[in-house]
C-alpha cells in the first residue's frame, strides 16, 4: 500500500501518529508549503520553522526515506503523480487550517483517494461548537479524564 503522510506542525519522527505502520508498504512523507502561514510570522519564527523542517528531512533520510517539500499550489499535481492508496494528516484547530483541511478533503474525494485524519496535539476530538468563553470550554472538555493514546514507535526504516 502506498501512503502519503502530510507533515505540518508535527515535524518529528518520535511519537508521531502519521508514522503508524510506516514500515509496511511504500511511505511518502510530504510537507506542503503554505504561503498563508509564512506571511503571518516574523523572520525569527520562520527561521526556526525551516531549521526544524531541515532536521526532519535529515532524520527521514537517515532511515532511508525522502521528505518531499511541495508548494501548496502543486498539491493536486503531487497526488496525481504519487497516486497514493491513502493520505494521512493531523487535524488542526486554527480557522485557516480547518478551512485548508476541508479543501484537502474535497480534493481527495474528487480524486478518489482514501484519507485518514489523525489527532496529534489534542487529547480529545475537536468540538463542533464554539464557546463564548474559555470557562465554558474548560468545563466541557478539561474536566473529563481523557486517557492518552498509545505510544507510537519511531520507524526503523522507510521505503
Euclidean distance between CA atoms 17 and 142, whole angstroms: 22
pLDDT for res 146: 59
pLDDT for res 14: 82
pLDDT for res 53: 93
pLDDT for res 65: 92
pLDDT for res 49: 87
Vertex 62 angle, CA 25 and 149, to 5° = 60
Computed over every residue of the chain, the mean pLDDT equals 84
**For the chain, which ranges sit under pLDDT 70?**
36-40, 120-128, 141-152, 159
pLDDT for res 137: 73
With CA atoms as reference, report the closest residue to 67 among 119, 7, 150.
Answer: 7
State pLDDT tens for residues 25-44.
Answer: 899 999 999 876 666 677 88
pLDDT for res 147: 60
Cβ(1)–Cβ(81) below 8 Å: no
3-state class (DSSP) for residue 40: helix
Which residues sit opposite 86 in a β-bridge? 3, 114
pLDDT for res 157: 76
Q: What structural domains and CATH numbers belong to the chain?
A: 2-141 (3.40.50.620)
Amino acid at each position: 500500500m502506498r501512503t502519503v503522510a502530510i507533515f505540518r506542525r508535527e515535524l518529528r519522527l518520535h511519537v508521531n501518529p502519521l508514522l503508524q505502520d510506516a514500515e509496511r508498504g511504500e511511505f511518502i512523507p510530504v510537507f506542503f508549503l503554505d504561503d498563508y502561514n509564512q506571511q503571518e510570522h516574523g523572520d525569527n519564527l520562520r527561521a526556526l520553522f525551516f531549521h526544524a523542517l531541515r532536521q526532519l528531512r535529515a532524520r527521514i533520510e537517515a532511515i532511508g526515506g525522502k521528505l518531499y517539500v511541495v508548494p501548496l499550489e502543486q498539491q493536486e499535481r503531487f497526488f496525481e503523480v504519487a497516486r497514493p492508496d491513502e493520505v494521512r494528516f493531523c487535524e488542526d484547530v486554527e480557522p485557516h487550517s480547518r478551512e485548508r483541511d476541508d479543501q484537502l478533503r474535497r480534493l481527495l474525494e474528487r480524486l478518489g483517494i482514501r484519507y485518514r485524519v489523525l489527532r496529534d496535539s489534542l487529547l480529545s476530538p475537536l468540538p463542533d461548537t464554539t464557546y463564548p468563553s474559555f470557562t465554558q470550554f474548560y468545563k466541557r472538555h478539561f474536566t473529563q479524564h481523557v486517557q492518552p493514546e498509545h505510544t507510537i514507535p519511531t520507524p526503523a526504516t522507510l521505503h
